[in-house]
Amino acid sequence: MKPKGSKFARKHNIVIEVKEDDKLQSLPSEFVDFFENHFNFSKRFLRLSYSAQISLISHLYNFSSSEDPDYGEISSFYLQKIHEITDSDYEEGIYKPVAVAEKRLIRMDCYGSIMRRRPDELSELYRFFKHRKKEKHLLRDYNLDNSPAWRVMAQFESFRSIAPKIKRALYKSKMHPDILKVMSVNDFCDLIYNTFQEGTEKAHFIKKEDSIKNRYIKQFMKECGDSFYRMLVDRGIDERCVKSLCNKMRRFGSCDLESLIVTETHYTEHVLKDLRKNGFDIRGIEVGMPIPDKFTNYLIDNKQESLILAREKDGSLVNKYVLPRLELHHSRAVQFADSEYLAASNYFNRLVLLESGIHHKYYHIFDSMIKQNGMQNQFSRLNISSQYMRMRIGFAPDDALYGDFENTAAFRQRVIEDKKHRVNYFEMRDLYLNNVREALNQYSKELGGFGKQYKAIVNKTKPKKGTQNSIPPLLDKSNQGR
C-alpha cells in the first residue's frame, strides 16, 4: 500500500501514523485495491458487477472532495475515466436558470399531464372573475393571444393542440373575456385540469400514449428495437420478459415494470389447459408452438392475460424485475433550457432512456446548483456528450444505443411551427403585470378594499429585468412540479 499523507510528507520521508478512521476503512474490501493499484482502472471497473460499479462511484464521488491527494486526486481521476467510458462529460459554470413557470411547462409538455392546483396557488383576479356574475359572450371573444401566460404556454406543441378545447371551456364558463389578460400559468393549469380531469390529482391533457415521453419510447423501439431486444437477451434475461417489455414499449410507449404483464412466447400444457377451460378452440395447437403476437395482444386488451402468464417450472410467475428499469432523462437539464426556445428542451435528440441506477446514482449525483445573493449562481452537471445517445443500461460502451430521431420531415416542420411561437418570458411577465394594473383600475368598484390592497402589492413589484428573482408571485405562486 502507498504511504499515507500528503505528497510533501512522502517526499520528505515524514512518518504519519495511520488513524483508525482512515478513509480506506470505510471501503468494501473489493475496492481497496483500486487505491493501492492505479493501473488498468477502466478494465477492472468494467469487470465489477453492476451493483458494485454503482457503489464504487458513490465512494469515489465522496472521496473526490477530499483535500488529501491520496483520495481526492485519484478519485477525481477515476471518475473522469468512467465519464470517458460512458460518453459523458462533467461541466461546471455560471447559470441563468429559466423561470419556475417555464421549467414547470417543459415538464408538463413532456408528460402531457397537469397536477391539481390548490386555491391559494391561483391568482386573486382569476378567482375574482370565476365568482363574478356570469355574462354570455361569443366564442370568438376568447382570443388566447390576448393572454401573456398563454403565449408562454403556446410555445409548446402540446398546449397549442388543446387551444380549441381551452377556448370552449372559457366560453362555457361564461367568464368575461378580460380574464385572459390577467390569467397566470397556474390559472391556466387550473382551467386545463378541470377540463381534462379524471377524478384524480393528475389530469392528462394529452393521451398518455401520445405524450412526448411515450412517443419517444415508441420511436426508440422503431429505430433501435431489434438491437435493444438482442442486448437484453445476450445478458441472459429470460426471453419472455424481454419480448413482453419490448411489446409494451412498441404498443404503448411505456417501460413501466410495475404494470408489465409477462406472457409466454410458446404454448405450454398449462396455457392450453387454461385456454380450453375458457372456451378457446385449441384444435391443431401443440405444446411448443409459438403464440402469435396478435393473439397475445388480443388477450391483454381484453384483460384475459392470466391465461398466458409466463411461469416457471414450479408454477410460480416469472420474475420480471430482472429487466432494467428505464427512465426518461433530459440530456440537458430542464433548468438550463434556452428561455428563448423552450420547446427544444423536449426534442428527441435531447432525451435519453437511462437505467434507474445510472440515472440517479451516476448522472444526478453530480448535479449541484449554488444560489448566491448578489453574486453569480454556479452549477455542476454531468452531461451526455453525444446528442445521439438514445439509451444506456450499463457503464460499458456496448451498453448504449445511438440514433438520430430528428432527421424527418415531420420534425423539421415542427421546428418551423415552434419558432413561430417563440416569446420572451420576461416581456410577457411585464405585459401581464400591466394587464393586472389595468384590470384593478377597471374593476376597482367591484373589488372594493381588496382591490386597493392588491393594487398596492402589484405596484410594489418592480423586478430587475432578466433575473430569476424578478418573477412576481402573481405568475409563479407554486414550487410544485407538474
Cell numbers linked to 439:
384590470
pLDDT at 342 (0 to 100): 86
From start to end of 339-425, where are the E strands?
Answer: 351-355, 368-370, 378-384, 389-392, 400-402
Beta bridge partners of 202: 115
User: How large a percentage of the chain has pLDDT more than 70?
Assistant: 85
pLDDT at 298 (0 to 100): 96
Number of alpha carbons in the 13 Å side-chain half-sphere of residue 437: 13
pLDDT, one tens digit per residue, over 247-260 is 999 999 999 999 99
Predicted structure pTM score:
0.85
Q: Give the domain ranges of the chain.
A: 21-85, 113-205+424-470, 236-322
DSSP sequence for 20-69: TT-GGGGS-HHHHHHHH--TTHHHHHHHS-HHHHHHHHHHHHHHHT-S-T
pLDDT at 9 (0 to 100): 35
pLDDT, one tens digit per residue, over 141-155 is 999 999 999 999 999
Residue ranges for the chain with pLDDT beneath 70: 1-26, 338-340, 371-376, 448-482
C-alpha 189/C-alpha 395 separation (Å) is 40
Which residues, 6+ apart, have CB-to-CB distance to 408 below 8 Å?
none
